[in-house]
Amino acid sequence: MATQFLTSTSLMAMLFFGLVDQDVPKPRVELKYGAQREGRRPDADMAKWRAHRLGMIIHFGLYSQAGGAWDGVSYPFAAEFIKANAKVPDVEYDKLLKTFNPDRNAPKNWASLAKQLGAKYVVITTKHHEGFCLWPSKHTDFAVQSTPYKTDFLGEFVNACDEEGLDVMLYYSILDWHHKSWRYSLKDEDDHAEFMKYWEFATLQLEELLERYPGVKGFWFDGTWDSSVKNNGFLTYELEQRLREIKPNLVIGSRLRADETGARHFDANGQLMGDYEQGWERKLPISPLENDWECVMTVPENQWGYHANWTGHVKDSIELIEMLAKCTALDGNFVLNIGPRGDGSIRSEEIQLVREIGSWMDINGDAIYNCGTSGLERQDWGWTTAREGSTDVNAIIFNVPVSGRLNLQLKKGEVIKSATLGDKILQIEENGDGRYFIRIPKMDYDTAFVIKLQIVDGKQTVTDVPKI
């Protein structure tokens, strides 16, 4: 009785405050460093990024040599954090420079792997939190020119991607464990002065990247959560502007930004900062979003860099394909992470997954590339996607009903004209109120498959709806 009372009181309170919250519009905060524009970007570069739908992200750095272990001890937390996990002093960690010498074919092999996956764009860590740079930077020696590899690893990879026709985005960590001027918080004038030096360094590096690789499509920022960055909104605001002055149509996600109130990703007025929602990290939304968005996904639980000892659940290809289909159906991009070993080789589990997803995309890519939400309600057998401007729907089936009939619910006023699986025309049964049964052949399905639905407005005369 008492719990019931408590529950209903708190429920009433929630409802009450919820209503009040909705009824009284929040006053708009005047922001100097909030969102730089509103709504989805309508230009061709953004449209291209959106149409890609499938990408690949590569985490590669000095940490890749350690494989999640230090001095014989394996640390289960993210392998790219090994320096922090094992509390490795700089002098020890910097020795990894002397052994950084990946296979010269790695850049080409990785670009070809991304192609095989069916990815249309690749994100690569140019500098992760450890601070090591994959390109020969003028602004630090903690970079590839100080290793036995010597040459421009990043440039070789960018060229290999160009040859494969893949777009490139550069991951850059603002957080830098190596730079002496990096600060987590600014406690006094000295911190402030040092951090401004760091900011100048990062800005010069980003300009250097754009100068060296003018074809890159955008930046993938990370490591912006510390108070030094998030409590000084003008820094990321001005940096974004500076980069866009150099290359106006760069695609830059929301993770770079904070406004002057300390709000990240979305400013104090709820407006997205940057071009797309970049907070979908190893998770997906439940319904289509207003903004563009991108999900980045690891194969094991939380490992981005190479870890020799994966523990916990490891995703299989069908699970990842379903995430890709779901992202497309909910108007977002899906980006799969690969963590090569220090020598540039890729573990067999990742190669196998790329093959499986890639073969699925060879057959079903039409339901993913250039597609987005169909506007239909959620169907219990899988996900539906459509090309912009087309009423045809791709039904991507993950849960095959034992009855051999798919329940399809259309929007009010719409009727189905045909349903095809490959070259097979499927039987359709009308079931009232925009509901249909679609008969699917009885067989052993070993992967998800796509049924093409031709849907028309019910006001048009439809004479050829097959009935059973």
Q: How many residues bind ligand JFZ (CB under 6 A)?
A: 7
Is 78 a binding residue for ligand JFZ by CB under 6 A? The answer is yes
Alpha-carbon distance of 60 to 80, in angstroms, equals 8
Give the whole-angstrom CA distance, residue 255 versus residue 236.
10
Map residues 84-123 to x or -, x wherever contact with ligand JFZ holds by CB under 6 A.
----------------------------------------
221-260 footprint of ligand JFZ as x/- string (CB under 6 A): -x--------------------------------------
Q: Which is nearer to ligand JFZ, 59 or 326 (CB)?
A: 59
Q: Where are the alpha helices (DSSP H) in 166-299?
A: 189-212, 227-230, 233-246
Beta carbons of 440 and 400 less than 8 angstroms apart: yes
Integer angstrom CA distances of residue 54 from 44, 275, 392? 18, 17, 21
**Binds ligand JFZ by CB under 6 A, chosen from 141, 281, 316, 380:** 281
Q: Identify the residue among 50, 53, 80, 85 touching ligand JFZ (CB under 6 A).
A: 80
Candidates 103, 162, 261, 279: give the one binding ligand JFZ (CB under 6 A): 279
First and final C-alpha spacing in the chain: 55
Comparison of 332 and 434: residue with beta carbon closer to ligand JFZ:
332
Per CB under 6 A, the list member of 133, 144, 160, 296 interacting with ligand JFZ is 296
Q: Which residue, 133 or 393, has its beta carbon nearer to ligand JFZ?
A: 133
Phi then psi dihedrals of residue 385, to 5 deg: -130, 165
Q: Cα separation of 221 and 302, whole Å?
A: 18
Between 151 and 185, CB nearer to ligand JFZ = 185
For residue 304, state whether it binds ligand JFZ (rule: CB under 6 A): yes
Q: Among residues 63 and 449, whose Cβ is nearest to ligand JFZ?
A: 63
Geometric angle at alpha carbon 303, from 300 and 307, rounded to 5°: 95
Q: Do the beta carbons of residue 171 and residue 161 sit within 8 Å?
A: no
Give the SS3 label for residue 342: coil
Closest distance to ligand JFZ from the beta carbon of 42 (Å): 27
Q: Of the candidates 192, 199, 264, which has an alpha carbon nearest to the alpha carbon of residue 225?
A: 264
Query: What mask of x and - would describe binding to ligand JFZ in positions 48 to 77, judged by CB under 6 A?
Result: ------------------------------
Tokens of 295: 């999900």
- Please say which residue, 101 or 302, places its beta carbon nearer to ligand JFZ: 302
Q: How far is the C-alpha of 26 from the C-alpha of 272, rounded, in Å?
A: 17
Please say whether the beta carbons of 40 and 293 come within 8 A.
no
| Identity of the residue, 54 or 296, whose beta carbon is nearer to ligand JFZ in the bound complex | 296
Beta-ladder partners of 171: 125, 220
Nearer to ligand JFZ, 252 or 395 (CB): 252
Site residues for ligand JFZ per CB under 6 A: 78, 80, 222, 279, 281, 296, 304
